[in-house]
Amino acid sequence: MSEEADLDRDEKKQVDEYSNVPTSVIFEAIRREGDHELSRPLSALWWSGVAAGLAISTSVLAKGFLASILPHADWAAGITNLGYTVGFLIVILGRMQLFTENTITPILPLFLAPTRSNFAQTARLWGIVFAANLVGCMAAALVLVHGHILPEARFEGIVSISRHYAEASPFEHFAWGIPAGFLIAALVWILPRMESAGEVLMIVIVTYIIGLGGMSHVVAGSTELFVLVVGGELGLAPAVFGGILPALAGNVLGGTGIFAALTYAQVREEI
């Protein structure tokens, strides 16, 4: 083992601050957060999930606003998808319950102790949060379509990006949902190490890549599909079975089946 440099107390403190945080420490921080979420009362999870569904819809609004003022050109997506980050910033910084974050947070305690009770608690959390997110998205769609709260030109921008999202086949939503789920889970894993300014930047970078890549995020995408359902352009069954459920499966596979499983595998011997 190499000898330590001769440093004073302040310098050693700086070294500790800049040292890499062990993976096992990050795992434990997220596991404790998962335990906290699993123990929260139903009403708290429900209303936080509804708020997240409403808030994530601002990603659709912001992207639609930008789409309404930009020409139809290949480069326009590089700007419109900056708007896609808005809802994620609100939801994540506001500590609201977003389903795709829960593909890793409560899963780590489950991996550590795969008991029947933990399975039941995880299923309860997933069911409540996912249903609440969809209710929030539907409420946002109803207000957007029937509330007449936006200028017609801006609303048309929202409709146009919603139509584009709905054009994908069920298999495409599933396949495109896998990297989206992986990236959101990776974002949750990274955030405990970030300072507040870095946290904002990391959320923007990761969610911008999801939007720019045309990936399928089940919650944000649900608002787009519900806008078309409420507007009479798409049936509820095609929206659910052709878009929402395939994206859900892809997000879970990417977030839980790939990222969370690999994360646990790398720390299993250490913990």
pLDDT tens profile 102-121: 888 888 888 888 889 889 99
What does the CA dihedral 54, 200, 182, 72 come to, rounded to 10 degrees? 70
Positive or negative torsion for Cα 233, 238, 242, 248: positive
As averages over each run of 10 residues, the pLDDT of the chain (271 residues) reads 52 53 76 84 94 97 96 92 96 93 87 87 94 97 95 96 96 97 93 78 96 96 97 96 97 93 79 64
Which are the contacts of 212, defined by CB distance < 8 A and separation ≥ 6? 77, 78, 81, 84
CA-closest candidate to residue 195, choices 21, 11, 15: 21
Range of the domain at 229: 23-268
pLDDT at 12: 53
Give the containing element (helix H, strand E) for 163: helix 152-166
Measure the CA–CA gap between 269 and 78, rounded to whole angstroms. Answer: 42
Measure the CA–CA gap between 59 and 66, rounded to whole angstroms. Answer: 11
Token pair 């039941």: residue = 120
Kindly state whether residue 8 falls inside one of the protein's structural domains.
no
Kindly state whether residue 108 falls inside one of the protein's structural domains.
yes
Kindly state whether residue 6 falls inside one of the protein's structural domains.
no
pLDDT at 223: 97
Kindly state whether residue 135 falls inside one of the protein's structural domains.
yes
pLDDT at 202: 94
Measure the CA–CA gap between 76 and 70, rounded to whole angstroms. Answer: 6
Kindly state whether residue 44 falls inside one of the protein's structural domains.
yes
Kindly state whether residue 4 falls inside one of the protein's structural domains.
no
Burial class (CB in 10 A: 0-12, 13-18, 19+), 99: buried
Measure the CA–CA gap between 263 and 271, rounded to whole angstroms. Answer: 12
CA-closest candidate to residue 45, choices 54, 56, 36: 36
Three-state secondary structure of 51-104: HHHHHHHHHHHHHHHHHHHCCCCHHHHHHHCCCCHHHHHHHHHCCCCCHHHHHC
CATH number of the CATH domain containing 228:
1.20.1080.10
What does the CA dihedral 261, 81, 163, 228 come to, rounded to 10 degrees? 80
Total of domains in the chain: 1
Kindly state whether residue 15 falls inside one of the protein's structural domains.
no
Measure the CA–CA gap between 30 and 69, rounded to whole angstroms. Answer: 41
Answer for the pair 54, 139: CB distance below 8 angstroms, yes or no: yes
Measure the CA–CA gap between 180 and 103, rounded to whole angstroms. Answer: 11
pLDDT at 63: 97
Kindly state whether residue 1 falls inside one of the protein's structural domains.
no
